[in-house]
Amino acid sequence: MLLGLLGGFSLYCTSSSKPLKTTSPNMAAAFSALSSCPYTFFCRPSSTKLCVSCSAGSPTTTSIGSRGTKAPPRKRTGRMEGTGKSMEDSVKRKMEQFYEGPGGPPLRIVPIGGLGEIGMNCMLVGNYDRYILIDAGVMFPDYDELGVQKIIPDTTFIRRWKHKIEAVIITHGHEDHIGALPWVVPALDHNTPIYASSFTMELIKKRLKENGIFVPSRLKVFKTKRKFTAGPFEIEPIRVTHSIPDCCGLVLRCADGTILHTGDWKIDESPLDGKVFDRETLEELSKEGVTLMMSDSTNVLSPGRTISESVVADALLRRISAAKGRIITTQFASNIHRLGSVKAAADLTGRKLVFVGMSLRTYLDAAWKDGKAPIDPSTLVKVEDIDSYAPKDLLIVTTGSQAEPRAALNLASYGSSHAFKLNKEDVILYSAKVIPGNESRVMKMMNRISEIGSTIVMGKNELLHTSGHGYRGELEEVLKIVKPQHFLPIHGELLFLKEHELLGKSTGIRHTTVIKNGEMLGVSHLRNRRVLSNGFVSLGKENLQLMYNDGDKAFGTSTELCIDERLKIATDGIVVVSMEILRPQNLDGQVEKSLKGKIKITTRCLWLDKGKLLDALHKAAHAALSSCPVNSPLTHMERTVSEMLRKMVRKYSGKRPEVIAIAVENPAAVLSDELNARLSGNSHVGFGISALRKIVDGHPKGNQVDRKQPDGNGYAHLEKTSPQNLEVDGIEFERELPKEEGTTSRSILAEGHSSASEDQDDFQKSSAPSSSPVNELVKSDESMVPPGEQKNKLKEDVVDSSDDDLLENENSRLKRSKSVKRNKWKPEEVKSLIKMRGELHSRFQVVRGRMALWEEISTNLMADGINRSPGQCKSLWTSLVQKYECCLVTTIAKMNRKARTGRKGKKLGPILKTWIIFYLIPRQWQQNDRKKGEQCFEFFWKASPSLLFN
């Protein structure tokens, strides 16, 4: 149809899809013609001609969710995807982790949990970069997640996005929707509000109070059909029926579209509380236009429709009325409506109600506070009063429908419940569904109950249970009512989501998709339902990690809680090998060529074949240790032995156990080399406790508290000391001792010479270790002789120190420490021991196998009426020498501090003079003043008894 000619400008308009062509240099005339036409036009410029298309229809109006009439987008080159997005843009977005910012699709969905699994429902829904969090639930562990109590959404991701999350909306009070709040709430901003219905809020309050994060100002209660604003959305809760009170769906409206989140739901035509499924609101939404619908997919594989809760109430009444003995029902604790049915049946049959299980009381108390409880908690019979009633007068409601390990019914099946005992006259009404994954343990519980003789009535065949999730017929009905532009199945295994997607397509919904946890989905409102372009756009993926709760406090990732390692140990076992490494000693020119050590192997959860495997492991460990270079680090030894033992077990039994190797170096050989170098003048390591610590620890940072500072004479002293009391076999001495110094040798000996077990190897005879490094150092201080003789005698002491002496000394000390009453040394006995040891001092320096000398001292003491074993005498002597050396170091440290500060100290007593002379003996040797050294030595031995007790 010809509209007219304006200034040489021809315009054609048609109601068909073919565009009208015009040619004119006058652009103003063309636009004036367009303004006079009541139809919708859009222009497409060209280099040669102006093309104007007109589509017949009603005048343009602003649709719900739009910002008004917008300028048509320019044509983009390249393949189109989504709403005006080119394939090049799509590729770029997929390369990014997430598409963020004001551009792109306005509506965005990020599921954190609940897709591809049952439980842990948690989802971010947003408009551009403003989000709300819908639900925060937990998921219960599988059998292979050993020791785990709950599985929680990735709180690290929530914490990273907390500046974008403006509110938390909870649909209902089941654990898979509120159980993770104690971990999610601390990850959010401290001002982020939490919205829920009144009954659900009571459950949330209790949970937050238990975890010490209850903040009343953050909790907001909403009511159905009452709109409120949270984040970027205007939210309208709508009534849906479920197996818990106050369950609701959510209608989220913003300028860019409308989203329907159904929550968990079914269609109950005759609910016990009279609050029916809100079809009217869904029909209104269909007329308004729903951009995206997200719906529960749990029972999509179940054909037909669910039965009403009122049908279950009739079945319960029928069964309870027919029973002659005691009735025990088990159900999900959160099903308050079912509790009302049980209460009604108990009233009609004249039975008293008893609740057994903490979770039952938790949900009942929350319902009572909210005014929705069908039972007054004060009217219930107490558990401890069960025996006061006849069995025919009782109706027990208990937890344990899923055979939880600590639930009341499961304990009763073992006969270990303190609440009640099962008998042959009991009737068990199983008013619940076996959750997938729990079939095995539920069946075992039922077998135990059957063995007792109780009658079991299962819920499926007797109409004792109905699901809270809609069956396939109900899901199809709601899809046909709402007629959304886009459909996203949620809440279910991946199989359920795929099947629900197919169901949506069968109802006429063109745009459906299935996503996984962590994938961001962008959605745009379609202005024309007939268009073939898809409003879904993938905006990237976040690699989320599951968080685990291991008891009350433990919380972290699978790696942090060693979940995989637990399963490996449970299936393949564990081997723990401890090694006390003895490196080759360079004494008298003889150097051993291989590492040797004391090895102890402990196994758990492994078949030992009557000890044959253990013998093989010992041989393999010794062979692996001998193969290591003599200068290899401890970590290399641990790794080599671990690999060898793992291969041995695999070859022997086919298992791959976890092998833990712990190598500890015995410093005796290293100490011997250092002492030889010290006596030969080739070592720069000073004498005393600080020098010993440097030798034994191998590095100067072993103890930051005891810092060594050189004084003016080149000696080392301790910067920090602390007063302690020393008790040596019943004698207390006041002294100042640096932290841990007094226990160095004792800890080494205690670790290295503990009582042997059946799994423990002895040292190889050819690699007998020398005595404790502290004792060897003390003996070098005892032998106050000229340097030429000292060098040879010290070598003899180190070489000839026998294992028998050391073991007997330590065993006697450990036995005395374990005894309740120790035979303490008296002062007179100590004086006698010191005197006799001083008389035999020269013989101690030349005799091999000095235990015979200690036996001689013991015999002499026995002649004086002192009954002490050779080991006791040697142990006391070692303790006294250690005590004197520590006193020496702390005394010198005090003197140096006073000298630096210029203060005059108190008059030095005899013990201070003695120790100063004793400490300076090594310098007298270096100056070849043999006479002075011998005088110091004689003075020390004569003064020791009086210094100890005066």
Answer whether residue 894 shows pLDDT above 90. Answer: no
What percent of the chain lies above the pLDDT cut of 90? 48
Greater model confidence, 146 or 901: 146
For residue 171, the number of C-alpha atoms closer than 13 Å in the C-beta half-sphere is 33
Greater model confidence, 861 or 454: 454
Which tokens sit at 561?
């809680």
719-729: pLDDT as tens digits: 333 333 333 33
Average pLDDT for 847-868: 82
pLDDT band (50, 70, 90) for residue 150? very high
Distances (CA, A) of 338 to 308, 363, 369, 407, 432: 11, 12, 18, 19, 10
Enumerate the domain spans of the chain.
2-55, 94-304+468-547, 309-458, 577-665, 668-755+786-949
Answer whether residue 620 shows pLDDT above 60. Answer: yes
Highest mean pLDDT, choosing among 79-83, 599-603, 878-882: 599-603
Neighbours of 40 (CB within 10 A): 15
Average pLDDT for 47-66: 36
Contacts of 565 (CB under 8 A, 6+ apart): 658
184-224: pLDDT as tens digits: 999 999 999 999 999 999 999 999 999 999 999 999 999 99
211-264: pLDDT as tens digits: 999 999 999 999 999 999 999 999 999 999 999 999 999 999 999 999 999 999
Residue 736: strand, helix, or coil: strand
Distance CA 742, CA 886 (A): 7
547-591: pLDDT as tens digits: 999 877 788 998 899 888 899 999 999 999 999 988 776 555 555
Burial class (CB in 10 A: 0-12, 13-18, 19+), 510: middle
Answer whether residue 703 shows pLDDT above 60. Answer: no
- Helix axis angle for 787-800 and 910-926, nearest 10°, is 100
Answer whether residue 921 shows pLDDT above 60. Answer: no
User: What is the pLDDT at residue 885?
Assistant: 61
User: What is the pLDDT at residue 949?
Assistant: 38
Answer whether residue 685 shows pLDDT above 60. Answer: no
User: What is the pLDDT at residue 124?
Assistant: 98
Average pLDDT for 619-645: 91
Which tokens sit at 151?
């599985």
Answer whether residue 326 shows pLDDT above 80. Answer: yes
Average pLDDT for 19-31: 42
Dihedral sign for Cα atoms in the order 104, 108, 111, 115 = negative
Greater model confidence, 357 or 588: 357
815-841: pLDDT as tens digits: 554 444 557 888 888 888 888 888 887
For residue 17, the number of C-alpha atoms closer than 13 Å in the C-beta half-sphere is 0
Can you identify the CATH homologous superfamily of domain 94-304+468-547?
Ribonuclease Z/Hydroxyacylglutathione hydrolase-like (3.60.15.10)
pLDDT band (50, 70, 90) for residue 527? confident
User: What is the pLDDT at residue 184?
Assistant: 97
User: What is the pLDDT at residue 581?
Assistant: 87
Greater model confidence, 419 or 838: 419
Burial class (CB in 10 A: 0-12, 13-18, 19+), 158: buried
User: What is the pLDDT at residue 760?
Assistant: 37
pTM: predicted TM-score of the whole model, two decimal places? 0.62
Contacts of 237 (CB under 8 A, 6+ apart): 197, 222, 223, 224, 225, 226, 248, 249, 250, 251
Q: How far is CA 877 from the centre of its chain?
A: 51
Answer whether residue 902 shows pLDDT above 60. Answer: no
Distance CA 837, CA 857 (A): 7
750-780: pLDDT as tens digits: 333 333 333 333 333 333 334 433 344 334 4
Distance CA 222, CA 251 (A): 13
User: What is the pLDDT at residue 80?
Assistant: 38
Facing residues of 554 across strands?
550
Facing residues of 937 across strands?
none
Length of the chain measured in residues: 950
Average pLDDT for 531-556: 84
pLDDT band (50, 70, 90) for residue 900? low
Answer whether residue 887 shows pLDDT above 80. Answer: no
Domain 309-458 matches domain 577-665 at the CATH topology level: no
Average pLDDT for 286-299: 96
Average pLDDT for 838-847: 76
Distances (CA, A) of 593 to 582, 625, 627, 628, 872: 12, 12, 10, 11, 37
CATH topology of domain 309-458: Rossmann fold (3.40.50)
Distance CA 383, CA 380 (A): 9
Closest CA to 523 of 81, 83, 79: 83
Distance CA 97, CA 614 (A): 52
Neighbours of 665 (CB within 10 A): 18
Contacts of 898 (CB under 8 A, 6+ apart): 904, 905
User: What is the pLDDT at residue 858?
Assistant: 87
Segment among 316-325, 664-673, 696-705, 892-901 with least mean pLDDT:
696-705
User: What is the pLDDT at residue 194?
Assistant: 98
Average pLDDT value over all residues in the chain: 75
pLDDT band (50, 70, 90) for residue 2? very low
377-415: pLDDT as tens digits: 999 999 999 999 999 999 999 999 999 988 999 999 999
Q: Is 890 left (phi over 0), alpha (psi -120 to 50) or beta?
A: alpha
User: What is the pLDDT at residue 851?
Assistant: 81
CATH class of 577-665: alpha beta
Contacts of 868 (CB under 8 A, 6+ apart): 825, 829, 833, 858, 861, 862
Answer whether residue 497 shows pLDDT above 60. Answer: yes
Average pLDDT for 70-91: 40
Burial class (CB in 10 A: 0-12, 13-18, 19+), 194: buried
